[in-house]
Amino acid sequence: MTFTTTSAYDRGKADIQSLSVDDRLGLLWFVYTEMGKSITPAAPGASGSDIAQGLFDRVKELPYEEQLQVMRDIASKTNTEIGRIYGSMSPETKLAFWYFLAVGMDEGTIIPMPPDYQLPEAGKTLLGKIQSMDFQQQIDFLRGTVLEMGAEAAPGPGI
């Protein structure tokens, strides 16, 4: 049963959990490639995009397999240094980070999607839902999705 009072933000947080970690990453990839023209303007101009760029630059320096592991760790909330840094970022900065990763995948500086990758049916259904939303709902949905990723920042002095 779907309640019309459920916000796109809340749906993003809930719906993404139905996918495996790799399929969450695949969905984000498809969102940015399929709808990038409408979504990407919200990410690069976000306050904190310098922070997102800095974290992206750290990931970009890693070998492909380690880049993939970093993305998997962030998506699964694994407690790593990069996961904690990501976890401490604002939702807008997180959106910018995933945008930079998608651009990096296009440019070959970040591990690309396997050419034969197919979203599972649940992912295709979710992508269709996102595509049917208006721009603000899409951004809210993505904000809810990326907010749930990353580890909690360690208490005490800085990371």
Question: What CATH number does domain 19-147 carry, 1.10.2090.10, 3.50.50.60, 3.10.150.10, 1.10.3680.10?
Answer: 1.10.2090.10
Residues 54-80, mean pLDDT to the nearest whole number: 96
Give the C-alpha separation, 138 to 68, whole Å: 25
Q: Is the pTM of this model over 0.85?
A: no
pLDDT score for 78: 94
pLDDT tens-digit series, residues 106-148: 899 999 998 899 999 988 988 888 888 888 888 888 888 888 8
- Exposure letters 96-128 (e unless 16+ CB within 10 A, then b): bbbbbbbbbbeeebbbeeeeeeebeeebeebbe
Residue ranges covered by each domain of the chain? 19-147
Q: What integer is the mean pLDDT of 57-83?
A: 96
pLDDT value at residue 77:
93
**Backbone Cα Rg of the chain:** 15
At 2 the pLDDT is: 47
CA distances from 79 to 65, 70, 86, 90 (A): 18, 11, 11, 18
